[in-house]
Amino acid sequence: MGFGAKTVVISGTPSVVVSETPTGTPISRTGRYSGTSTSYQTVAEWEVSAGKVGNLEEVSLVTDQVAKTHWRLTVGGVQQWADRLFYTSLSIPWRKVNTQLPAGAKVTLEAKSTDGTSIIADGSISGIES
């Protein structure tokens, strides 16, 4: 079975395989911000290509200064959260939510230092365009 495929089990025997794998072109955007800015800086961003529909699959983030890095995530112009501290690396699966984005829509992951401390913030955005 491929990525995202699902097996339905009836009476202990795999009997039906339902594909939940979106078709299209896989998208992966990665990035890094390194600095001391107390204003949000883009870590990773994906803009859905013209004439395409985007399906957001996953957003991941990590920083070297967990107590000094604020994160903000915006999906399709809607801020999901801001000024969030995450005390560990984090991968957020979106594929089960079926987040479809129209052409031109953006997914933006941003980070900033809480107090001017130097931070290194890495992030990735995965999706599929069809």
Determine the Cα–Cα distance for residues 122 and 37; give it in Å rounded to an integer: 15
Asked if the structure places residue 8 within a domain, the reply is no
CB 68 within 8 A of CB 115: yes
pLDDT of the residue at 95 = 83
Residue 17 in any domain: the answer is no
CATH number at residue 36: 2.60.120.730
pLDDT of amino acid 4: 47
Q: Report pLDDT for 70.
A: 98
Q: In this structure, is residue 52 part of a structural domain?
A: yes
Domain count of the fold of the chain? 1
Residue 67 is encoded by which pair of tokens?
A: 């107590």
Whether 114 is covered by a domain: the verdict is yes
Give the model's pLDDT for residue 98.
77
Is 2 within a domain? no
What single-letter DSSP state applies at residue 66? T
Q: Does residue 121 lie within any of the structural domains?
A: yes
Q: Is residue 7 part of a domain?
A: no
Mean pLDDT, contiguous 10-residue spans, the chain (130 residues): 42 44 87 98 98 96 98 96 95 86 97 98 97
Domain span holding position 125: 23-129
46 lies in some domain: yes
